[in-house]
Structure 1
Amino acid sequence: MKQAILQAIDDFARGVRPAFYKTPRRWYLVHRGSLYPAKAIWAMATGQGSAGSFNTRDARAGLAEAGFAVRAFEPESVQWPDEDVRLAIRQLQQAADTDPGDDAAETLCPPGMTVREQAVFRRSPVVAARVLLRAGGFCECCGAPAPFVSRADNLPYLEVHHVRPLAEGGADTPANCMALCPNCHRQFHYGIKPPVCALSSSR
């Protein structure tokens, strides 16, 4: 199995993708300093062509059993709503319990703290600064002004987005980055479809 996984890594690096492939949200195989989507590599190594025939947990377990490191990499923006929130939404919808004043429901899961290991990409602050200065306080997708002034630096609040994600080999350069308002940024990461950028042709 290890040899099949190594072959899948080589194939992926050469541009081969399983039919169901889409940009992963979280789990990556780490091999020789590079990242590869865990589910895609497992599918290619095992010959499973359908995403429905296994889940990410199966892929993580199989890769780990073969001796490969699998790590969680968060998207470049804050995850909201996260998996726990989405699960709670589904449970409340199924129970028809949408009363925001139901204090009893809030006590079912008291606040707590979770410590987890997380690997993140190092990004150049100079690149981010250049992109934000280039934007001049306006979203480079929809063209709207920044929604507020940040109390951290007294500058218009915009978020730097990598057009081609770093996890997919994208460069940390101004040419691969956009300064976005929070709405456009969240839609890129969590929307069913990415936003249509009115200013993309002018960049």
Structure 2
Amino acid sequence: MPLFRNARFEISIARPQDLPPPSGAEIAFAGRSNAGKSSAINTLVGHVRLAFVSKTPGRTQLINIFRMTNGAALVDLPGYGYAKVPEAIRKQWVKLLENYLSRRESLIGLILIMDSRHPLTPLDRQMLDWYAPTGRPIHVLLTKADKLTRSEQARTLAVVRRDLKAGWGDQVTVQLFSSLKKTGVEEAEAIVGSWLVPPSTDETEAVAN
């Protein structure tokens, strides 16, 4: 069975103190409010409306947790960077993001959603700079790839990969993704699947030595 399929909604959180006790590994999804994060989650899990897709960017104001059949969870974080959000709500989002991403012990990696037509915005770079020191892996989904020609896709992927390598080394990986065409799902599953598999005893000993 595909890794993400049959994930189910578990809980929505408005305050850091309301987060449930850790129960299995967690993979966070973050990105600008209009980058297609909810659509990407729905495509990965094969469910049209598991994560709410709004025509108004910035609508998601909560941390939404979806539990997968293997016990791990997909954690949909509030989108960032939408200018029309009231300042009080923006501060609440920042507090939620900072608390979860920096303190959640069960968090094993971050999926960062970027619009392939406008990748690596200043806020995306700020998120990478802020999260990378945790040492946990980051995988970038360049969404809406169907809106680019094949040559534009190849060029965008090459440029973003080069910039990520220069700024954050091997900690960050990247791929093209399209919710409309349902492309990139298997690649994303392979990446997250590797996060969920602990290193073998031999590998661990080799690193220790």
Of structures 1 and 2, the one scoring higher in RCO (CA 8 A, sep 6+) is: 2
TM-score, normalised by the number of residues in structure 1: 0.27
| Larger strand percent | 2
TM-score, normalised by the number of residues in structure 2: 0.27
